[in-house]
Amino acid sequence: MASELASMFPKLGSLGTSDHGSVVSINLFVALLCACIVIGHLLEENRWINESITALIIGLGVGVVILLISGGKSSHLLVFSEDLFFIYLLPPIIFNAGFQVKKKQFFVNFITIMLFGAIGTLISCAIISLGAIKFFKKLDIGFLDIGDYLAIGAIFAATDSVCTLQVLHQDETPLLYSLVFGEGVVNDATSVVLFNAIQNFDLSSVNPSIALHFIGNFLYLFLASTLLGAATGLLSAYIIKKLYFGRHSTDREVALMMLMAYLSYMLAELFYLSGILTVFFCGIVMSHYTWHNVTESSRVTTSPGLSVAVSSILMGLILLGRAAFVFPLSFLSNLMKKSSEEKITFRQQVIIWWAGLMRGAVSMALAYNKFTRLGHTQLQDNAIMITSTITIVLFSTVVFGLMTKPLISLLLPPQRQLSTVSSDANSPKSLTAPLLGSQEGSEVDLNGQELPHPPSLRMLLSAPTHKVHRYWRKFDDSFMRPVFGGRGFTPVAPGSPTEQEP
């Protein structure tokens, strides 16, 4: 038998070096992730260190050890791949963000989040691009055309607010957490959409028609990606509700949810849309409809000086670009709100500005996509941009990350007595949150005061968010839930999964 197998697979014993090297890399990668999770948990209460800084320190330490032990021969044991990041690592992260988000807070503050995440990102990108054009030409770093400068603006407009979110608590500061979290997701999606739009245009000669075409293409990508994600989420809800997989196999329900979420991301990439936006809104729709249709058992289951100069200029532009939209747009957002409790205070504005100063994996992936070929750089200016990107990611994450907890403690001192927060039906941990709050709270504003019901134009203008919310609840209860299911809807088929109201 052994000889037959040997004849059938003559190269089985010689899969040797390359395959073994891949196995070593995967084992090392998984071990590092486990170490980051465990050590990050142990240091959760530390005043200075957070998970992002922990991951950087562990990665740098392991890299130094590998280089020392191998004498510099194993420098490519773990190579960063933008394709690996965008295709395999990013989709589950963004889907989880959409699935777990507190949807009521997200949609109540949707206009402000979109101002910060979309308009703010465009403002930041413009300032960074214009600043790079002005200063980089004096540094003589090589030839960069207008498309390269715009790509640089898109790369460094992508924020990473993980450090700030690890310090904030949803129950204690719901408004601030919602704004920081929502802006972070929309910002990443906007940066990727903007980057892809820049890559697809010939910007050698910029004119008004090109600018209008560019804006139209950007809006199309944004809207089409959102609609594709919502449609995929609704399709999964309809299939699980009608076919009721749970009566035969609970594994099929969960597997179908995960596969359709991933399918939404890949479909967006296939049609040159934004996979981030698609899978995020797919997660929101799935948590609102699909999750309530599954059975209960399924739910359980280069030149250093030049590089420093470039990095310093970009860091200054990031600081300026962030401030250029956070404070003005916060002022505009406050003008639209009458209640003082819903307005963004100056201290909260400072925290929102600070939360977007860190740069992370999205900036790295976009920079590698733009300035490398197969993971390598051929030109000096490309190498400088990759080095500067790594420098900014390390500096912003470590330095700004270390200062995040003390800054938030200074601006938002902890109260001596915190009221006990009961388990909220809208909490993402309960996984039972409706799209815009519970039925019992559908007619109540954030302060617990009942809103007037007359559908007058004056009422719509004075409280547009709550009015739209009430109309959405009526539409959702009358048309959407009977077709796609959801929390509180009792199916007609006997034995089907039901969701009892708390």
H or E segment at 391? helix 380-395
Short-list 152, 125, 156, 121, CA closest to 136: 152
Structure tokens at 36: 């980051």
C-alpha pair distances (Å), 19 with each of 15, 62, 67, 212, 311: 6, 22, 21, 50, 38
In 3D, which of 250, 346, 293 has the Cα closest to residue 499? Answer: 293
The position carrying tokens 């407009």 is 157
State mean pLDDT over 273-302: 77
Residue type, 126: A
Query: pLDDT tens, 378-406?
Result: 677 788 888 888 889 888 888 888 888 88
Round the average pLDDT of the chain to a whole number and report it: 75
Q: Give the model confidence (pLDDT) of 342-372 as tens digits.
A: 889 999 999 999 988 988 878 888 888 888 7
* Dihedral in degrees, nearest 10, Cα atoms 409, 413, 414, 419: -140
pLDDT tens sequence across 212-230? 777 787 788 888 989 999 9
127-131, 145-149, 334-338, 395-399 — most confident range:
127-131
Indicate the angle between helix axes 90-100 and 174-199, nearest 10 degrees.
140
* Predicted confidence (pLDDT) at residue 56 exceeds the cutoff of 50: yes
Residues in contact with 121: Cβ distance below 8 Å, sequence separation at least 6, in sequence order: 157, 158, 186, 187, 190, 191, 194
Interatomic CA distance for residues 311 and 302, integer angstroms: 13
Angle at 216 between CA 215 and CA 220, to 5 degrees: 120
Q: How confident is the model at residue 259 (pLDDT cuts 50, 70, 90)?
A: confident
pLDDT band, residue 241 (cuts 50/70/90): confident
Classify residue 422 by its DSSP letter: P
Q: Spell out a b/e string for 319-342, using b for 16 or more CB atoms within 10 Å of the CB, else e.
A: eebbbbbbeebbeebbeebeeeeb
> What is the arithmetic mean of pLDDT over 466-470?
71
pLDDT value for 323: 92
Report the alpha-carbon angle 425-429-435, nearest 5.
Answer: 55
HSE value, Cβ hemisphere, 13 Å, CA-based, for 91: 23
